[in-house]
Chains A and B, each alone.
Chain A
């Protein structure tokens, strides 16, 4: 079973850049898409974007101007950067495998999530 573990600062100041890393364990990062999904407290889930093991990306149009995703296959890690954060970016951030894997356009493996608060 593949395990995903998110890591990064839990507190980010407004206008600064949120940076998170996801480490993939007990499985390869290669030949899969990997997504970041977030959930503000009391709200639904929001897909942020995805990165393929080759480095190609697709982003949510509503966040595209502020998002950068990358992958380091040698470290089996992926990363998320979200610039110019505001309080609206406060959420639990999940690292997820998919879409486009063995379960089609679904997200089949999720990390536990990490809480990021945007506050001064």
Chain B
């Protein structure tokens, strides 16, 4: 059982927007603005998409955006493209210098 809760699957048609949620507690997501999101294509190295809730590393398209409200963080993928089909994971810094992850969401582009 993962510390952070994500829906196991999400889907959308090309061009649409999809939002993936990540629910934690007041000891992780709710405690810090240290939520990050990762994209993982099977067989490849996971890729950092979002850090500190809503910041994008250089090279990540602005179609990817993040937000947080209370104990729940969200990743929105706008203008869905076929290449966005992947697994997405959230992570948060937690108390006691620990880091926790979600169970992952498989995004399907219909």
Contact = CB atoms under 8 A, between A and B. Distances in A.
A74 B18 CA distance: 46
Given A43-B2, A45-B104, A58-B97, A113 B34 contact: no
B101 A105 contact: no
Contact of A45 (B44, B51, B55, B89): B89
Size bin of chain B's contact surface: 20 to 34
B51 A108 contact: yes
A25 interface: no
Nearest to A99: B99
Contact of A112 (B45, B57, B97, B99): B45
Interface residues of A, number: 24
Contacts of A14: none
B103 A94 contact: no
Given A103-B57, A105-B99, A110 B46 contact: yes
Interface centre among A46, A104, A109 (most CB of B within 10 A): A104
B47 A110 contact: yes
Given A44-B102, A44-B103, A47-B100, 18 more contacts: A37-B101, A43-B2, A58-B97, A61-B96, A99-B99, A103-B51, A103-B52, A103-B55, A104-B34, A104-B52, A105-B32, A105-B34, A107-B36, A107-B38, A109-B48, A110-B48, A111-B45, A112-B44
